[in-house]
Amino acid sequence: MILIDYILHNAKQLITLSGADKPRAGEEMKNLSIIENGCLAIKDGFIIDIGLINDLKKKYLPKNYIDAANMIVCPSFVDSHTHPVFVHTRENEFEMRIEGKTYVDIAKAGGGILSSIKAVREADEDYLYELAYKRILKMIEYGTTTLEAKSGYGLNTESELKMLRVIHKLNENLPVDIIITFMGAHEFPLEYRNNREKYIDILINEMMPEVKKQGFAEYVDIFTEAHVYNIDESRKILTKAKELGFKIKMHADEIEAIGGAELAGELNAVSADHLGACSDKGIIALRDGGVIGTLLPGTLFSLGSKNYARARDMIKANLPIAIATDYNPGSCNLDSMQFAISLACIQMKMLPSEALTAATINAAYAIDRQKLVGSLEIGKYADFIMLDIPSIAYIPYHLGSNSVKKVYKKGKLINTDIPKL
């Protein structure tokens, strides 16, 4: 008999999503690998076995049993695209957009991303940490235990490094895994609007080498869009990022298909995100380049868009897709992966099973953590949630509600006992 920490038992269904040795695509996105009344054997934060209670009892001597109380147990959510470090929320702009004000009107009123940049540059590091800490606590309550977080509201070396240090400290102190992305190419800072080459030069020759030296960031991301970084600028920055040893991500083809997806395919980005206007050619380029298409329906919903990424065409073309919140203060103040799943189903016609796959195992692939999270499998972290619902379809069906009752990260219950600061 092997001594273990506990057996999780009495789950109505254990939704494992196991068996994906590559990101799930096409018909496979519906395959949740469900075990009725399945149990988990857990030791030192890892899943060491999966099966039915009688089989596990024969092999293991658990110190404890954890009762899932007939709830559904599934992998906790992986939010592979967030911007949680900022100072003020921007609900005033939300109201202006409802009144029909344009991006330019908002910028003139002192809003937009430039207001976030100004505030982050001026902010004390501890204050930024405290604000983001509280935001991530909410994500945990909604069932997220692994997230990616980006810099990109500093846009100078000092402030970008400050943001990266904040994310690093959040990763150290919160019971979740945070994957860190440098996004100095989120926008052009005001002081370089008329000298873009100079800012790109700083990004390439000063910021990225310094960020690499500090060792906090794993990814470099860029906002490739008609009004921000064009294709040539994006290729130049991302090529340098790869040379420095970063993995790459892109905000691509959100509003207009300018070839962002094609570039992501060409450079074998780990993920290309948004894709609201991605063309057929773009979808094929992503698939052939081994890129995960990460869809962010919350952003388009929040902006009142009528057009969403063509998830059905992507699934049909065998492009593996993930979904994420895009949590940020401007275009999408969404911290719930459950609501992102609702929007994926309602607005993009994804089935609940496909959306759950996109929010777990495929999202793990989108941050290169598929060996540790995103499914319930032997050798992976015991990262799971208990949901008090009749079936998985209930998650997207019950709009804006939190169906997650318990959240476990590395085998420990975390949604009840985190210090609130």
Query: Among residues 262 and 273, whose Cβ is nearest to Zn ion?
Result: 273
Query: Among residues 136 and 385, whose Cβ is nearest to Zn ion?
Result: 136
Query: Going residue by residue from 321 to 340, which x/- string records binding to Zn ion, judged by CB under 5 A?
Result: -----x--------------
In this chain, which residue has its C-beta nearest to Zn ion? 326
Show contacts with Zn ion in window 352-391 (CB under 5 A). none
Of the ranges 120-128, 159-167, 320-328, 367-375, which one interacts with Zn ion (CB under 5 A)?
320-328
Phi, psi of 372 (to 5 degrees): -115, -35
Residue 302: CB minimum distance to Zn ion, A: 12
Query: Going residue by residue from 33 to 62, which x/- string records binding to Zn ion, judged by CB under 5 A?
Result: ------------------------------
Which residue blocks in 157-255 are alpha helix, DSSP H?
A: 157-173, 196-202, 208-214, 231-243
**Looking at the DSSP assignment, which residues form a beta bridge with residue 404?**
387
Residue with tokens 């988990």: 40
Residue 273: CB minimum distance to Zn ion, A: 6
Residue 18: CB minimum distance to Zn ion, A: 30
Provide the 10 A C-beta neighbour count for residue 54. Answer: 8
Query: Among residues 259 and 330, whose Cβ is nearest to Zn ion?
Result: 330
- Of 313, 307, 268, residue with least CA distance to 286: 268
Query: Among residues 229 and 384, whose Cβ is nearest to Zn ion?
Result: 229
Query: Among residues 18 and 159, whose Cβ is nearest to Zn ion?
Result: 159
Query: Among residues 5 and 254, whose Cβ is nearest to Zn ion?
Result: 254
223, amino acid identity = F
The size of the interface with Zn ion (CB under 5 A), counted in residues, is 1
Query: Among residues 177 and 326, whose Cβ is nearest to Zn ion?
Result: 326
Q: Are 23 and 315 in contact (CB under 8 A)?
A: no
Q: Do strands 144-150 and 77-79 pair parallel, antiparallel, or not at all (unpaired)?
A: parallel
- Of 350, 346, 345, residue with least CA distance to 319: 350
243, amino acid identity = E
The encoded tokens of residue 157 equal 């070396």
The encoded tokens of residue 268 equal 């074998």
Residue 82: CB minimum distance to Zn ion, A: 8
Burial group, residue 249, by CB count within 10 angstroms (0-12, 13-18, 19+): buried
* Sheet with 404-409, side-by-side order of all strands: 34-36, 13-15, 72-75, 384-387, 404-409, 412-413
Residue 264: CB minimum distance to Zn ion, A: 14
Residue 186: CB minimum distance to Zn ion, A: 8
Of the ranges 161-169, 241-249, 319-327, 412-420, which one interacts with Zn ion (CB under 5 A)?
319-327
Contacts to Zn ion by CB under 5 A: 326
